[in-house]
Amino acid sequence: MQTTLRGVGVSHGVAIGEVRHMGTAVLEPPAKQIPTEDAEREQGRARQAVEAVAADLNARGNLAGGEAQGVLEAQAMMAQDPELMTDVERRIADGTTAERAVYEAFASYRDLLAGAGEYLAGRVADLDDVRNRIVARLLGVPMPGVPDSDEPYVLVARDLAPADTALLDPTLVLGFVTEEGGPTSHSAILARQLGVPAVVALPGAVELAEGTMVAVDGGSGEVFTEPSAEKRAELAKAEEARRAALAASSGPGATSDGHKVPLLANVGGPADLPAALEAGAEGVGLFRTEFLFLDDSKRAPSEEKQVAVYRQVLEAFPEGRVVVRVLDAGADKPLDFLTPADEPNPALGVRGLRSLLDHPDVLRTQLTALSKAAEGLPVYLEVMAPMVADRTDAKAFADACREAGLNAKFGAMVEIPSAALRARSILQEVEFLSLGTNDLAQYTFAADRQVGAVSRLQDPWQPALLDLVAMAADSAGAEGKSCGVCGEAAADPLLACVLTGLGVTSLSMGAASIPYVRATLAKYSLAQCERAAAAARAADTAEQARAAAQAVLSDD
């Protein structure tokens, strides 16, 4: 009998297949004592296991490329954390086996993360995965992971670690469903990069029986168990129409009446450029430079290294627009040379621009490197600061750009509600705004973007969030300046129409989403988008907002 379950759709497309479950987690190793003379040998085993796991994660990252590489390299650094290793060796010296020492040390660190604020709590799943891989290697058992199957299937799991998601084979894994996670979790971001239909935050997902036939709609977030022949035909028809629209869509982003909406790509470095160019991106709307800095948490990359990487990205879009976000460190992206180690709540502490203003040499080097990288290129370089709270922040950043001799537009990210509320004031100091809807939702609703239990508050369709977007866009319009969106909200084709109707002037997203957004925008006029935006803002819930916008566009 067909039933309908609803989670959060995070990657477009439809997948129909049988359920296969991700392998279960590594069991807790037994607590056993070892003779004192065995401690040195056990410590050596622990070090070897840690290095092997770190090497494996880095290798997976190299194979995956793109954003996945940065995520997996960060996990490898987590495995090699010197404080964790010191704790492991201390426990072994006290008579604990290597595997038990790793388990207990990671458990202790896990508790610290879970209680250190919402951002770091969101890294618990990544930490658990690293622990499991090290313990499995020490126990000599296979690491639980993607099931072995010769037939295509729909993967179901409580959550997916980045190391598993990054190397999924799309020819076998038709789509995936998780019980935890949110629209901006690592798994969701990597699913979009792979082009695999995915639904997250689905209550009771792990209770789906092995072999159950399901249909997964990664756009609507619906999962149909034992779908009827009629439902399969309906989904197949919709998917065929969607693919046809994608194939017919090309050129710059625009509404049906010619209102231009540049469609840009979010990139983490040169590895993301081929996909962005293939998708027809008109430039880069968010260059996340922090991935370059995560290679070594002890020191910033040299000016020469930064120049080389920045120039590769700038050269990919001659005469195009490239928006660079300066280093966004802190919270879930701590750097030993930059961010405090003892903040009680890092998400609300010294992060983003605050860190850079405390370390002006790091900011100056990055701005100088960007200036040198752009020399002789016709690219339109724009540089923006993360976590701008008010006009004082915006002025400090603009002054730093001028002092570095940077020939570019200076902008501010709107990720804090105060920045949206006082956007017109901020625009007295900078030339453009860019809305980071992921963090803006997180701070508006006090809802961690990595926690599935509060995913409804991370839904970018929340009317309160749309109100803040409208405030920022209206302010930019009044000042004759631009206001883009570079959060994951831009990747939702229907929401892209609403954002356009709210006055947003450009949309930046993962490369895989660009064709979907381009095709959908081309179906509607600016006036239709404005009516859909008004209907969405008049709603009381995210679900009602989406339905209201859809109804307006369907009726029109």
Residue burial 245-283, b: 16+ Cβ < 10 Å; e: rest: bbeebeeebbbeeeeebbbbbbbbbbbbbebbeebbbbb
CA nearest to 391, candidates 426, 352, 344: 426
User: Residue 18 class from Cβ within 10 Å (0-12 exposed, 13-18 middle, 19+ buried)?
Assistant: middle
Q: In what order do the strands lie in the sheet with 3-6?
A: 3-6, 222-225, 213-217, 14-21, 153-157, 173-178, 198-200, 8-11
- Whether 21 is catalytic is no
Catalytic residue among 186, 401, 497, 529: 186
Cβ atoms of 503 and 473 closer than 8 Å: yes
Catalytic residue among 359, 401, 483, 486: 486
| 355-361 contacts, C-beta under 8 A, 24 or more apart | 355/327, 355/329, 355/330, 356/326, 356/327, 356/385, 356/400, 357/393, 357/396, 357/400, 360/400
Residue count of the chain, please give it: 556
- Whether 486 is catalytic is yes
160, two tokens: 């997916």
C-alpha to C-alpha distance for 319 and 4, rounded to whole angstroms: 48
Give a three-class secondary structure readout of 422-452.
CHHHHCCCCCEEEECHHHHHHHHHCCCCCCH
CA nearest to 66, candidates 264, 265, 270, 263: 270
Q: What is the residue-wise DSSP string for 511-543? A: GGGHHHHHHHHTTS-HHHHHHHHHHHHT-SSHH
Could you list the active site residues?
186, 486
